[in-house]
Structure 1
Amino acid sequence: MIREGILLEKEPGLTTIFQGEEHPYVRCVIADIHDPERHFECRVLDESDISIAIGEPIRLEVVRVVTERRSGVVRFDCRLTHPSE
C-alpha cells in the first residue's frame, strides 16, 4: 500500500524496536493527496531524517499498520519511496 500526500509535520532522530532490532525513524504527519482534510500519522523507518521539507509532497510505502488500542489512533510504519517507484 502506498500513502501519498503533503508533509505537515516531521520529528527526526527517533528510535524504535522493529522486528526485534533498534531502528531510527522519523515521525511524520501527512495530508492525503486526494482528501487534504484526512491526515495520517506515519513512522518513516530506517531514516534518522528526511530531506523533504514541510509543505512538500511525500510518497511512502506502508510496511505495517498499527492501531493503538486505547486511543484508536491508526499509525503507518513506512519506508520512503521515490516518485519513479
Structure 2
Amino acid sequence: MATDAAQELQQFHQFIGQRIASGSEMSIAEAVAEFQAYQAELERFREEIKPGLDRLARGEYEELDIEEFKRLARERWDKRRRGDQA
C-alpha cells in the first residue's frame, strides 16, 4: 500500500513538473483536480486496451505484413485523392 502511495506521489510530481515546464499556472486544487482527471482517463484507456493485451498474451494475433499494409494505405489514399469513397 505504501508503495502505491509513493508511486502515485511520484506520478503526481512528474505530472505537475510537466505542467510547470509547459508554462501552465494553476492552484494546488486545480493541479490535483487535473491530475485526478488524467488518472481517470488513463484508467479508462487501460480498461479499453486490456482485451487486446489479453489476446496478445494468449498468442491470439497475426503478424503485420507491412508491405500489404502500405499497399492498402496507398490504395485508400489514391481513392480519397480522386474523390472516391473509401
**Structure 1 length-normalised TM:** 0.19
**Structure (1 or 2) with the greater helix fraction:** 2
Higher RCO structure, 1 or 2 (CA under 8 Å, sep 6+): 1
More strand by share: 1
Larger radius of gyration: 2
